[in-house]
Structure 1
Amino acid sequence: MLARRLQMLSKLRCYSKSRSRCWSHAVAANTTQSTSAAAKQARPHPVVYHPDFQIQPIPDGHRFPMPKDHLLYLALQAEGLAQLTFTPTYPDAATLCLAHDAQYVESFLNGSISQQQMRRIGLPWSQQLVQRTLIGTGSAVLAARLALQYGVACMCNGGTHHAHRDHGSGWCIFNDLAVACKAAQRDAGVGQVLMIDLDVHQGDGSATIFADDPTVFTFNVHCGQQSFPAVVQQSDWDIPLPAGTGDAAYLQVLQEALPVLLQQVQPELVLYNAGVDVHKDDALGKLALSDEGIASRDGAVFSACAEFGVPVACALGGGYQEDHSHIVRRHMHMHRAAAEHMPAFARVMDAKRMAAAARRRQGSSQKQQP
């Protein structure tokens, strides 16, 4: 498996190098026209939500927009997109330790974690924060499980990609998608997993956690001129973009990269971090996508995954603005795109179930032969 991974990395890096001049030219043009997706017949998609998302264990006025998770669910209800809601459970320590150091997990859960570590995370420790963190991570575990059943599932939270194996960082304590990845491999027998991270900041924690794991491929498209993380890590495939990159250039990069990526990695599950801090009005991001560009981006990810027959579980990722209603509006694009692509994912999962049933019948008939 390691040899296959090295061969795959070589092919993708050669492709990236060959396309870099074309991508740079497109970035220089920096137009903001977006291709609108064809209208699709939407149907309810699995939404993961827990009432504990209303718990706010941070001071009023804190820059981390924790209230957006509950506000998003209210918006989904108002639009009729929360008809298929699932409630997560709290993960046990053994599940958390699939992606994290046991001592780090224990110290955070029991409150013995150092002040220095909490300062690095950027949030004050409290029992409420423990509760909120656990249910947030449990949401990712459930979303991955639901994606394997329905083809797609979306969280109302998550995307804590700055959490490393033995420490947290940048408002991220446990790396929810990393835990979900290893839980899916343990519990559902999933093989290769692809992490698609389109947050404006590089997923440095995910990159380090899976640096030596040949069963997980990390892909990042991010702004290469962000001040955080201070030290950029090496993902399996990074595409850093210049500040100010707009819709057309961004979408060209993504739409060219996705088919190559899915063809080479051949994942059994995609975990998608759909950060909206790529928006031109985001307080912390330096890219320049519009609402329409974000909608097209999310649609492109779902279309590609459905075309390649790969289930996808989605986390919100970042998004920062004083008025949380703007952030919620941008996160709604991911959920709308998921609902629009549900018919395609339903066909994918039906085909997988039929193929599995055929294999079982074939195996049974072979056993019955003398």
Structure 2
Amino acid sequence: MKAFYTDHYVLPLPPGHRFPMEKYSQLRNLVSQLPGVSLKEAPAITDTQILYAHDASYLMKIIKGELSPLEQQEIGFPWSLMMVERSRRSAGATLAAAKVALKEGIAVNLAGGTHHAYRNKGSGFCVFNDSAITARALQREVNTNLRIAIIDLDVHQGNGTAAILKNDASIFTLSLHGENNFPFIKEVGDLDIGLPDQCQDDQYMVALHHSLALLDARFKPDFIIYLAGADPHEGDRLGKLSISKEGMRLRDQCVFQYGLDRQIPIAFSMAGGYGKEIHSTVEIHLQTIQTALHFHQAN
């Protein structure tokens, strides 16, 4: 199973910044020890590919460093050349994983899941929307008839993804998230299920099975982009849900089994994770990759 990484592009963040940048290198170090995983450096996304999902004026602001202080504040990162390059690589990793998954069944971006980025602005630590870019790029560069489902199981609603793709009947956006969490004004996706604070394993899994059944009934995808956020975990600082580590494994297993049963290729990304202890977030991400590897080897 191929895993694309970008962790050597590190943003120059101020001391005490709450974005856990170091989780990516920690994760890659652990993934490198897994038999059956092949690590690949992520390519950068091109301007043309970014424009599949973003406005040219926004792209130029990013490239030229012309974001206002307010726009930088909404993204949550100060502008830097490294921010631009890392954002290109993170989106490039999802697209590269998707193109591999079409041939091999499954592949992973060890970062990505930047679902708060809108067509004309960044938000919530997200500069370019890797899922929207990837879905559009697959349709333009590989197969124009590809029906793509974005299954977003980050604890935060994929608001940017829903907004970018809201009039696109060929891409289905499914978001299972904390109802009372960021973003506090939700966008309307194709299927949005909001969960109550302190939601536990059983309730979560019922909602997930229901969501996938509705996806099956309404859409029947040819390809899945899966955002495997670690932040529904009970140890997350920002999550507000109470899903156990085993519950997170069952979640991942459910999505990968859905794809395997229907022979649908899956590209997945790590998305959010803000554990009170960074190692707990890394362990959840690693568990997702181990679960995917099991399904890849079984296929």
Fold-level match, TM-score > 0.5? yes
Match of 2:63 in 1: 109
- 2: CA distance, partners of 1:60 / 1:131: 21
Secondary structure (helix, strand or coil) at the match of 1:251 reads helix
Aligned length: 298
Q: Does 1:153 align with 2:107?
A: yes
Match of 2:179 in 1: 224
Supply the AA of the counterpart residue of 1:265. F
* Larger helix percent: 1
For the 8 Å contact 1:221–1:240, the answer to whether it is kept is: yes
- 2: CA distance, partners of 1:132 / 1:58: 13
Match of 1:48 in 2: 4
Q: Deviations over 1:243-272 (max 9, x none)?
A: 111011111221233134134311111000
- 2: CA distance, partners of 1:70 / 1:124: 21
For the 8 Å contact 1:140–1:155, the answer to whether it is kept is: yes
Share of identical aligned residues, percent? Answer: 35
Match of 2:294 in 1: 340
Instruction: Please list every run of 5 or more consecutive structure 2 residues that lacks an aligned counterpart in the other structure.
Output: none
Question: Where in structure 2 are the equivalents of 1:122-201 lying within 5 Å?
Answer: 122-190=76-144, 191-201=146-156
- 1: CA distance, partners of 2:82 / 2:279: 24
Supply the AA of the counterpart residue of 1:171. F
Match of 1:235 in 2: 189
Supply the AA of the counterpart residue of 1:199. D
Question: Where in structure 2 are the equivalents of 1:55-70 lying within 5 Å?
Answer: 55-70=10-25
For the 8 Å contact 1:275–1:318, the answer to whether it is kept is: yes
When Rg is computed on C-alpha atoms for both structures, the one with the higher figure is 1
Question: Where in structure 2 are the equivalents of 1:274-289 lying within 5 Å?
Answer: 274-289=228-243
- 1: CA distance, partners of 2:167 / 2:21: 32
Match of 1:98 in 2: 52
Q: Does 1:75 align with 2:30?
A: yes
Q: Deviations over 1:68-120 (max 9, x none)?
A: 111101011234353x2222211111110000001101110111122221111
Question: Where in structure 2 are the equivalents of 1:236-315 lying within 5 Å?
Answer: 236-315=190-269
For the 8 Å contact 2:159–2:186, the answer to whether it is kept is: yes
Supply the AA of the counterpart residue of 2:156. H
Secondary structure (helix, strand or coil) at the match of 2:177 reads strand
Q: Deviations over 1:167-226 (max 9, x none)?
A: 011111100111111111111115211000011110000010000111111001111111
For the 8 Å contact 2:236–2:276, the answer to whether it is kept is: no
- 2: CA distance, partners of 1:150 / 1:276: 25
Supply the AA of the counterpart residue of 2:14. P
- 2: CA distance, partners of 1:160 / 1:116: 19
- 2: CA distance, partners of 1:161 / 1:173: 9
- 2: CA distance, partners of 1:329 / 1:343: 21
The runs of at least 4 aligned residues of structure 1 exceeding 4 Å deviation read none
Distance 1:252 1:194, change over 3 A: same
Q: Deviations over 1:120-178 (max 9, x none)?
A: 11110011111111111111110111111111111110110000000011111100111
Supply the AA of the counterpart residue of 1:176. D
- 1: CA distance, partners of 2:61 / 2:86: 16
TM-score (norm 1): 0.78
Distance 1:128 1:163, change over 3 A: same
Instruction: Please list every run of 5 or more consecutive structure 1 residues that lacks an aligned counterpart in the other structure.
Output: 1-44, 346-370
For the 8 Å contact 1:164–1:208, the answer to whether it is kept is: yes
For the 8 Å contact 2:235–2:280, the answer to whether it is kept is: no
- 2: CA distance, partners of 1:108 / 1:49: 22
Secondary structure (helix, strand or coil) at the match of 1:60 reads coil
TM-score (norm 2): 0.96
Match of 2:169 in 1: 214
Q: Deviations over 1:319-369 (max 9, x none)?
A: 102432111001112101111101344xxxxxxxxxxxxxxxxxxxxxxxx
- 2: CA distance, partners of 1:67 / 1:56: 10
- 2: CA distance, partners of 1:197 / 1:308: 19
Match of 1:324 in 2: 278
Deviation, 1:293, is 0.4
- 1: CA distance, partners of 2:102 / 2:25: 25
Q: Deviations over 1:277-324 (max 9, x none)?
A: 101111001111010000110010000111011101001011102432
- 2: CA distance, partners of 1:239 / 1:288: 16
Supply the AA of the counterpart residue of 2:185. V
Secondary structure (helix, strand or coil) at the match of 1:52 reads coil
Secondary structure (helix, strand or coil) at the match of 1:78 reads coil
Secondary structure (helix, strand or coil) at the match of 1:286 reads coil
